[in-house]
Amino acid sequence: MGEIIFWTLVRIMIIIPTIYIMRNYLDYSVWWSASFLLMYGVVLHPAIVQFRYFLEKNKDVLESSLCSSCEHFDKSAVLCMKHDEHPTENYLPCDGIDWSPKSKGNGVENISE
Ligand code: SF4
């Protein structure tokens, strides 16, 4: 996830000066449309595609692994916060020993319900 954010910021840093420079060469109404299309095509759409790929790649870990029901699991980064490692389909950083159910009151559902 951090990689998606990083590359989105890189693209934003490139596209903003480009859009600013284009202002000198295009009619104002065309410049607005071109700017919008560039922002969508260069920044937003690639970020959406990368995010969908991230979700698809980690679908099994996010939905059906032991970690997905553990309070130490950060879904947004697919990260075990207790061991600071990324679990995979075939690898649990704690081998299940440190698993702890998500608790009530922190905005996360309780698996026992
Ligand atoms: S403590 Fe164990 S079960 Fe919980 S997220 Fe980390 S590796 Fe997964």
At residue 44's C-alpha, the angle toward residues 43 and 48, to 5°, is 125
- Give the DSSP per-residue string, 60-97: HHHHHSSGGGBTTEETTTTEETTTTB--BTTB-TTTTT
The reply to whether 75 and 53 lie within a common domain is: no
| Residue 25 to residue 28: CA distance in whole angstroms | 9
Ligand 1 near 71 CB (within 6 A): no
* Domain count of the fold of the chain: 2
Instruction: Supply the range of the domain harboring residue 69.
Output: 61-113
Q: What pTM was estimated for this model as a whole?
A: 0.69
Please give the pLDDT value at position 76: 85
Q: What is the mean pLDDT of each run of 10 residues along the chain (113 residues)?
A: 90 95 91 94 94 90 90 90 90 90 60 43
Closest ligand 1 atom to residue 98 Cα is 1
Q: In the listed set 57, 74, 102, which residue is the last one of a domain according to the structure?
A: 57
Ligand 1 near 92 CB (within 6 A): yes
The reply to whether 31 and 65 lie within a common domain is: no
Ligand 1 near 66 CB (within 6 A): yes
Q: Counting beta carbons within 10 angstroms of the beta carbon of residue 70, is it exposed (0 to 12), middle (13 to 18) or buried (19 or more)?
A: buried
Ligand 1 near 67 CB (within 6 A): yes
How far, in Å, from the CA of 58 to the mean position of ligand 1?
15
Q: Given CA atoms 85, 89, 90, 95 in this order, what sign does their dihedral have?
A: positive
The reply to whether 13 and 41 lie within a common domain is: yes
The reply to whether 25 and 73 lie within a common domain is: no
| Residue 79 to residue 92: CA distance in whole angstroms | 11
